[in-house]
Amino acid sequence: MKQKSIYLVATYIMKPKDHVNTSRKGWKDDPANIRYDEKVEITKGLKNRDASSANVILDLSQLAINRNTFQTDRSFDELFRYYFNNYNKYLIPVMGQLHPDYLDKLAKEIEEEITAIPSDPTSVEAEYEEVAAK
C-alpha cells in the first residue's frame, strides 16, 4: 500500500482593512488597504480542491514545495520557518515523527539566533542613544 505524504496547506483570503472605502475605484491597488486571512491545515494526502485553491502547499514528508503562489523566490526552509514560527504547536509533533533531524537543525538555528541577540540592556540602550544622536 502506498503511503500518503503529510502536507501543510495554506490558503489566503484577501480582505479590505477596516478603514478602507471599498466604493472608491482602485482601492485594491494599494497594498496598505489589504489584509489577508490565513487558513493553515496539516493533512495526510491532498484533496483535489487543495491542489487547485491553496496558495501554499508544503510536502512535509519530502521537505519540498508543491505549490507557492505568493513569494515564489522562497525556499522550503524559509517557508517552513515562517509556518513553524506561527504554528509550532502543530508542526513539532508531525516533524518530530517525520524528520527529527530537520527539527533539531531548525532548533539549533533558532537557538543561535537567540544567543546572538545582545542580552545586556545597557548595550542596547547605548546603541539606541548613539542612533538617536545622529
Per-residue pLDDT tens digits of the chain, which is 134 residues long: 457 899 999 999 989 888 888 888 988 888 888 898 999 999 998 888 887 889 999 999 999 999 999 878 899 999 999 999 999 999 999 999 999 999 999 888 888 887 776 655 555 565 556 655 55
The pLDDT score that the predictor gives to residue 10 is 94
The verdict on 43 and 22 lying in the same domain is: yes
In this structure, is residue 118 part of a structural domain?
Answer: yes
In this structure, is residue 35 part of a structural domain?
Answer: yes
Q: Please give the Cα distance from 90 to 83 (Å, whole number).
A: 10
In this structure, is residue 1 part of a structural domain?
Answer: no
The verdict on 57 and 123 lying in the same domain is: no
In this structure, is residue 110 part of a structural domain?
Answer: yes
The pLDDT score that the predictor gives to residue 79 is 93
The pLDDT score that the predictor gives to residue 133 is 58
Note down the domain range covering 94.
6-98
Helix (H) or strand (E) holding 98: helix 76-98
Q: In the chain, how many domains are there?
A: 2
Contact 51, 15 (CB under 8 A): no
| Cross-sheet strand order for the sheet of 56-59 | 34-44, 6-16, 56-59, 64-68
The verdict on 38 and 61 lying in the same domain is: yes
The verdict on 33 and 92 lying in the same domain is: yes
